[in-house]
Structure 1
């Protein structure tokens, strides 16, 4: 276990200042932070943390590590116990063990990457039941219910984030696998947000249900690499996704909409190649918020607790290259940049049972945020 001093605390008193030039589009200006409203306590350390979810009862959480480890963690003391019974997975690049959420009937849903023929790979989702025997935990009866299609070469842009909606459906993000065109290709489920039953089947009434086949899974299309998805208290579905070189986005997901990747983006291709901006193609759904330069969003919640009442209904998201925690002010179907607090690379954001906010740093630490 790697332990570190709480070196991020010295940065919490610093707020990013506005750029201050009229030539810079408003969406490109970092938000000012003001007084930091939280204090930070380290809880536990991991090697390659990726996702977190609280178990029923709220005293314990599950934390996944990309290399294929799953832990039960006491959120108060930081005590960790490994979970056995995980599916076979492939660890390479951005791939490995991904999201973990508690689904219907207290099933534990995992997303992960599995290998295919000819060096290919793809994301998959399955579930099992968490069973405690004495002091040990195991995921029993694991069943794979969904797979990315097609499996392709490369080790990036799996996305594979999961959220269960108020309608009982499983909403799942499937990245474009750094292949661009699959996001607009209706013959595969890459570059899409999917709406599925808890058993991984197309949810009744999906926008392209009449087309049948893989299209019956689609809820929205034209996405790049979606590493955060969350429902607001009013039932609206929000997500963020990484743009190419700049152009990171926060989107309100609407059934049947096309979000434009790779035809449009507010960023540029790596190496400087131009991509038409969203306003040039109004038939595509435009982001509510975007960033240039990139912040590399990862993990998000729509806050619903009472511990930070000023954040209620707003998006809290991590930033990897942006090394910060970011708050997005949400008002109905509109969103705007609000505050940005410098930190380390944040991989995951989760809300605790008492309204606390938990962060997983990419470097390993689990942090708990409570009011200052």
Structure 2
């Protein structure tokens, strides 16, 4: 029970009952009265839901439930229950010194606790050495917060409507803030130097750096060209950056046309193909360069060239190389893989390109 109370999450960034007492009441755990203790006892089940800083009425009801159970179990009298229910809830959060790298610390806990056990981790006096660079971490946390605030402000100005402005003045608009993540690795070793999993760990413990799934986009193209070179192509092999269209026969994507308007195909054939089964890859700027070298296709991240190369070596080959190089997430073995259509975690996206052992495998 002592171990549980020393590590369970109480909301508002508080892990352990001592930290919770400091944040909610500005007190040491031994100084808490019955009302304060009952409030904390009711938090772990749903810390944000029952927080007095989130919903006062719900917090009152939750504390009353705890007190009722204490009467039922014989710990307090009904008179004590009644008196304690009138005790006010805290309305001001007491700030602790903000710690850096909270998402990284929690990431480590999730790795170490199953391996060494709770007692050894929290009571065993372990010394844990990490590769996090606190100077870089501080800069990254501020940079992410500043840029997300800037983005939110721009979107707020762009999307504000008259009705929303009125509601905002009445205080009835709930602010929705965009989230983000940063992962920085040492290029030679793959060591984690920076990890920011979101705006504020106190607000959301979901670590977007290692838990959120996102499409890697063009970051997947090096896998394709690595597989191509390993199967006989060279960096000076020519490849056509020109229009192309594919159709799905129900099993695979196959070449349909070397145009974007399908003008080189018999109209009767096109009529018999479901438009949803036709895919016409596009370059970012919608233009084509003609014949270029393989190395330039990669350097300029040209979509059409990546798709054509993947069609030549086949998606299963590229997916196999990606898996050998550390990708653990399932990959859809289709031509859209060239554009990074399969989802990966942020950490997995970037750790693969370090020279050393990846910091993540997911």
Give the TM-score of the pair, scaled to structure 2: 0.22
Q: Which has the larger radius of gyration?
A: 2
Counting helix residues as a fraction of each chain, which structure ranks higher?
Answer: 2
- TM-score (norm: length of structure 1): 0.21
Structure number with higher strand proportion: 1
